[in-house]
Structure 1
Amino acid sequence: MASIKGTRSSSRLVDKSNSSNSAPLHTARADSLEMSAASKTSGTSKRKAKSAAMAPPVTPPPKKHKKVMNELALEPVVKPNPKNPKKSVTNTNIEDRPVEPHMTNAPLLTPHGSKLVTYADFSADISPSKSGIPRPTTTTGQLLEEACAHLIKTDQRLEPFVKKHHCHLFSAEGLAEATDPYDALVSGILSQQVSGAAAKSIKRKFIGLFNGNTEGAESEWSFPLPEDVAKVDVPFLRTAGLSQRKAEYVIGLSEKFASGELTARWLMEAPYDKMVEKLVAVRGLGKWSVEMFACFALKRMDVFSLGDLGVQRGVGVVLGRDVKKLKTKGGKWKYATEKEMSDFAEPFAPYRSLLMWYMWKASDTNVEAVEGT
């Protein structure tokens, strides 16, 4: 769910305390870029374009193709030494990054190119009372192994699935892949209720609108900045194939990012429940979309979508039920009740995202298709 590729999932402001008191985060560029740009555009983000045919200003943000994003995620990290700022250590081992299952584990890119990680090595030991986030408990290289061991220990019935399928999503390599949350959320809206091929076509045309359509090779296009999208009107976006509602949703979401009401930093540090509540309040983002965003884009480890039919079917398989016969059963809860789903998943915390991934595998659900929705 990242870069110029299909991805998944306005806001009632749940928590207006921004990230000013948060722990220091490693950035590839000065993170002030994001907030300064937001402040400049907050007053104009709600103005419509004078004409639907008038193209927005073409800006040259950093390229955020998957290849580029991965290179950013794997670049050497310079770790300042708080005791002696003149000395620093360069670490190129992606498995050494500290993480905590309840937090965002993916590196996040801001729309302006800064890269954030929840735990910069020099801040990992800061007291939780000062940082607002718990201390890291493991590393990206150990997280998947520890999570798989927990799943098997909790329920031996999962062992065959764990041994058969390797989960790249939460591996050291998967956790090194950077995500732009704005890109991911917009792409999720664009892909709603259309086929994968149609979603890719709409997204390509949408990006083209902000890259001069024909200027330069398509491979050189950049995902538009939220402040640029917030300035245009619905008819302009509809020329890319967006429906009336999707165009409204994308503009509304862009206004949230342009004003600073939503930021990559906040999405990285916010408690899961608050993040879900705030994003679900955004027009165009339902609970399932937000759950998929948290799992695939943020790589949070303790997400479990009770309403996902594939997950529900997987639980039915593990519980030994004949899911083929239950397929024709009416109602939302075909394979297990909501309570059964919740009770089944609870002991697997804080690794329920991995449990959900294996439930998709147990039910033969195309996980890649889910990730691209």
Structure 2
Amino acid sequence: MSVNYEGIALVLNCGSSSVKYQVVDTTKDEPLASGIVERVTDHALAIGEVIETLSQPGSGVDLADLTVVGHRVVQGGDEFSAPTLIDDAVERAIAKLSVLAPLHNPGHVAGISAARAAFPQLPHVAVFDTAFHQTLPEAAYTYALDLQVAREHGIRKYGFHGTSHGYVSREVASLMGRDPKDINVITLHLGNGASADAVQAGHAVDTSMGLTPLDGLVMGSRTGTIDPAVVFHLHRAAGMSIDEIDTLFNKQSGMLGLTGYSDLRDVHKAIADGSHEARLALDIYTRRIKSYVGQYLALMGSVDVIVFTAGVGENDDIVRLESMQGLEGLGIVIDPARNEGRKKQSTLISTDDSPVQIWVVPTNEEHEIAVQSVAAVSA
């Protein structure tokens, strides 16, 4: 969505125990204010703390200038494919979708309810992580599971990080001087949570995350793709409960489970100190990225550009280099010198003669939520 509307949005990302916020003027690149309230037990009190902070002299914000409150919501299910004005019915629908995102949607709902009470005079808009992936073809989002069971329980691929994937895929098209409709893009959102997208003609046609954010790439503490029968084996052979396996897969696995570290900076240090486990873990991590790049190139038939974004994608040159090395036969040629170092600005890191361009594009999900929220109330 291009910036056709101007306004100032309070962007809220409410989790179960934290409230992250930014105040964004859609005409400016940098937020007017930002912060986080942690150890939240009462979202109404947390929103009150946000208001108190923003009301202080020198905050850079006049609350009277706010146009809209934009809310990040992880799971929109089949119901929400675009930014949506929140009323009581929408709030109830988001709460109902908690069955598909029990770690995320309940916190979103608590934050939405508290914010609507605190700012009753303002429109509130929900921007869904899953919305960008509503364009996936049926063959991409349907699992080979009994159809009646799948339909009854809403089991399908939803995909996540959609706000980020949408933002960087459009941003890189602009950087290349191309129309998003004319290029094929592979976006790699690599952070503590990580996902890959295939974006064809401006629309997502596949994504690595599935029913939940557990599937796909190796992550900080999540397994990524794993044989589902591991669940049965751990239950039968190790006597583990479903909740214990859920915790193992989501919070005790990935790089943390392989190395003891969820932060890749610690993994790199361990490799430098000679750790075989850390070296193996990084090989697993980058091998998985390569496999998705190859899969999506085959799926789309051709790729014009690959984009790295998010905390690891923007800052870890070793991950970028090792993820792209060996793909020269596919027309993907990274330039080690251009790639070196952290990238705070959009940077081309492929060679001049690489048929497929490789970019690092810093994501800006909060700004994108602000833009979409302002547009939703201005249209």
Question: TM-score, with normalisation over the residues of structure 2?
Answer: 0.31
Structure whose residues are more often strand by fraction: 2
